[in-house]
């Protein structure tokens, strides 16, 4: 099998159908150019998590086998010894009785390593491996589910709720494409997770209490055209189906230094070519969107460091009356190439910029933000900073303080009291002066004064 390009496909699941709600996408026109069938699509750049393509990314649906990703995360975080033996309990097998779900046919009393159970969980989507691992980590399945929900909340997933560790349908169990991107990106921080989900075939060795098991990834069951594509670009894929959901897949693709993660949910089976075979459109949608993105999207410098993007009025400086705004650093964004590239624009985010600034201002001080637009849709956002140091004028600052002080209620009240007191004492002085003047005018005549006359 040719492995020219690393392409890791992680999990496929089935999700329930809800009323359609199409959200804005970074490259909205892609869904018009590339024919897709799935109800839910979210594609992100793995480097920064920025959205590339969206459709109903926040719509809640039953997660099916997506649940197993969180199960694997908790096992990897809580089981440092991957060779630790785990005994299959009767309860772990019994809870799946009559579910007719995907299992590894584990038997009570069998002993497998944590690692072998993880491969069973992620390669062949074994639900019994999920229940055995849940009991091993938390003591019982209910406690493990509690840990799962605590984990996704800690990751910031507010639209996900788990009821079991394997993904069988339950109306109270749901997730969204956006939450799944967050969960999968965290799972990819564990090298073993990516190694396991990149495995097409794995053999669980026999022990004195268990037989050898050959695990085969579901990529082997794809229709030929799609399988050839994934064998060329992939080192692994995993699918799953439940009654309450459609067909879905989450895949990681890397090519020419670009890495993307795509979540496709609730996709139907459709005959999209001339043969009589129905295609799983979760895979055909993923293939089409990856191919379009690798062909049409490139990382391009959209904001050069030092290039003035805008300015903000400035007070309290004798040097200048404005601050020039420049990108915090050279900023590159994934934008279309060729046709339509001229539609890429950079504009200031108005609500992020203050109406006025006051000196002093330091060079590199974050003032606001700017966004990159393609076809009037936001595809990226970056910080704007001051272009130079600007000192504050002491006299202007003093005048500003006095002006601010004069505008306060307390200051005005004090000034009113001072004015009243001044007026009152002025009145007292005036009255005193007038009385004194009257006393000078009224004189008592003595005998001497009369004799003189």
CATH number at residue 333: 2.60.410.10
In a domain, 192, yes or no: yes
Q: Other C-beta atoms within 10 Å of 337: how many?
A: 12
Q: How far apart are CA 20 and CA 36, in angstroms?
A: 14
pLDDT higher at 235 or 112: 112
What pLDDT shows up at residue 208? 65
Number of domains in the chain: 3
Within-domain flag for 132: yes
Q: How confident is the model at residue 248 (pLDDT cuts 50, 70, 90)?
A: confident
Tell me if 398 is assigned to some domain. no
424 and 364 share a domain? Answer: no
Examine the domain organization and report whether 220 and 340 are in the same domain.
no
Based on the domain organization, do 244 and 313 belong to the same domain? no
- Rounded to 5 degrees, φ, ψ at 7 are -150, 105
402 in a domain, yes or no?
no
* Cα 453 to Cα 18: distance, rounded to the nearest angstrom: 123
- Alpha carbon distances (Å) from 46 to 13, 22, 260, 282, 354: 21, 22, 5, 20, 33
Per-residue pLDDT, averaged over 390-404, amounts to: 82
How far is 262 from 202, CA to CA, in rounded Å? 25
pLDDT value, residue 364: 93
Is residue 72 assigned to a domain?
yes
Which range among 25-39, 95-109, 121-135 shows the weakest confidence by mean pLDDT? 25-39
* pLDDT category of residue 67 using cuts at 50, 70 and 90: very high
User: Pick from 281, 297, 313: which residue ends a domain?
Assistant: 297
Res. 445: pLDDT tops 80: no
pLDDT of residue 275: 78
Report pLDDT for 280: 84
Same domain, 285 and 309: no
- Say if 393 falls within a structural domain: no
Report, as an integer, the average pLDDT of 253-282.
Answer: 86
Note the maximum CA span of the chain.
153
pLDDT band at 26 (very low <50, low <70, confident <90, very high): low
Distances 350 to 278, 353, 355, 368 between C-alpha atoms, Å: 50, 6, 9, 9
Residues 151 and 215 in one domain: yes
403, part of any domain: no
pLDDT of residue 276: 81
More confident: 103 or 231: 103
* Nearest residue to 138 (alpha-carbon basis) of 208, 183, 178, 86: 86
Q: Are residues 267 and 314 in the same domain?
A: no
Q: Do 310 and 437 lie in a common domain?
A: no
**What mean pLDDT is reported for the chain?**
82
Do 314 and 269 belong to one domain? no
pLDDT (0 to 100) of residue 142? 97
**Which among 386, 419, 435 is the end of a domain?**
386
How far is residue 264's CA from residue 248's CA, in Å, rounded to a whole number? 5
Whether the CB-CB separation of 378 and 26 falls below 8 Å is answered with: yes
- Answer yes or no: are the C-beta atoms of 260 and 253 closer than 8 Å: yes
Whether the bond between 347 and the residue before it is cis, its omega within 30 degrees of 0, is no
* Domain housing 247: 7-297
Q: Are residues 419 and 278 located together in one domain of the fold?
A: no
Closest CA to 75 of 174, 156, 166, 159: 166
Domain end position, chosen among 297, 324, 353: 297
* Cα–Cα distance, 176 to 247 (Å, whole number): 14
Tokens standing for 226?
A: 């799609």
- Do 264 and 310 belong together in one domain? no
Q: What band does 151 get if pLDDT is binned at 50, 70 and 90?
A: very high
Cα–Cα nearest to 378, from 370, 367, 386, 387 = 370
- Is pLDDT at 126 greater than 80 in this prediction? yes
Predicted confidence (pLDDT) at residue 52 exceeds the cutoff of 60: yes
At 322 the three-state DSSP class reads strand
Give the CATH number of the domain where residue 23 resides: 3.40.710.10
- Asked which of 81-85, 285-289, 318-322, 438-442 is least confident by mean pLDDT, the reply is 438-442
The CA distances from residue 163 to 71, 134, 154, 174, 303, in Å, are 12, 12, 17, 9, 46
Assess whether 265 and 285 both reside in one domain: yes
Contact 51, 28 (CB under 8 A): no
Q: Are residues 131 and 257 in the same domain?
A: yes
């Amino acid at each position: 099998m040719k492995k020219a390009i690393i392409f890791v496909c992680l999990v496929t699941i089935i999700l329930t159908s809800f009323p359609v709600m199409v959200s804005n996408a970074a490259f909205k026109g892609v869904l018009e150019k590339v024919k897709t069938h799935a109800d839910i699509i979210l594609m992100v750049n793995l480097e920064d998590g920025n959205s590339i393509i969206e459709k109903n990314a926040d719509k809640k649906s039953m997660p099916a086998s997506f649940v197993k990703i969180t199960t694997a995360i908790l096992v990897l975080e809580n089981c440092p010894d991957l060779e630790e033996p785990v005994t299959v309990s009767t309860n772990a097998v019994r809870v799946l009785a009559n579910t007719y779900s995907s299992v590894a046919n584990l038997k009570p009393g069998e002993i497998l390593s944590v690692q072998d159970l993880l491969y069973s969980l992620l390669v062949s989507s074994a639900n019994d491996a999920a229940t055995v691992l849940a009991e091993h980590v938390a003591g019982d399945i209910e406690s493990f589910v509690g840990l799962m929900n605590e984990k996704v909340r800690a990751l910031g997933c507010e639209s996900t709720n788990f009821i079991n560790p394997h993904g069988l349908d339950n109306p109270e169990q749901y997730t969204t494409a956006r939450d799944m991107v967050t969960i999968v990106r965290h799972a990819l921080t564990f090298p073993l997770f990516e190694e396991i989900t990149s495995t097409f075939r794995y053999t669980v060795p026999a022990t004195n209490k268990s037989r050898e098991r050959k695990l085969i990834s579901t990529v082997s069951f794809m229709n030929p055209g799609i399988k050839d594509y994934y064998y060329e670009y992939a080192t692994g894929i995993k699918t799953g189906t439940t009654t309450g959901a459609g067909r879905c897949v989450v895949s990681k693709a890397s090519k020419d230094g670009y890495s993307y993660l795509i979540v496709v949910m609730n996709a139907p089976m459709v005959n999209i070519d001339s043969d009589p075979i129905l295609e799983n459109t979760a895979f055909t949608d993923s293939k089409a969107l990856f191919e379009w993105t690798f062909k049409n999207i490139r990382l391009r410098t959209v904001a050069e460091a030092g290039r003035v993007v805008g300015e903000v009025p400035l007070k309290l400086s004798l040097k200048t009356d404005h601050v020039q705004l420049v990108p915090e650093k050279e900023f590159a964004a994934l934008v279309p190439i060729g046709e339509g590239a001229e539609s890429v624009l950079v504009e200031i985010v108005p609500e992020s910029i203050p109406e006025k600034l006051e000196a002093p201002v330091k060079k590199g001080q974050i003032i606001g933000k700017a966004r990159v637009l393609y076809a009037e849709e936001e595809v990226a956002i970056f910080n704007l900073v001051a272009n130079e140091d600007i000192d504050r004028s002491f006299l202007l600052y003093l005048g500003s303080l006095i002006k601010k002080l004069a505008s306060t209620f307390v200051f005005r009240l004090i000034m009113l009291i001072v004015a009243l007191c001044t007026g009152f004492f002025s009145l007292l002085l005036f009255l005193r002066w007038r009385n004194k003047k009257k006393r000078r005018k009224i004189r008592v005549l003595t005998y001497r004064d009369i004799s003189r006359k």
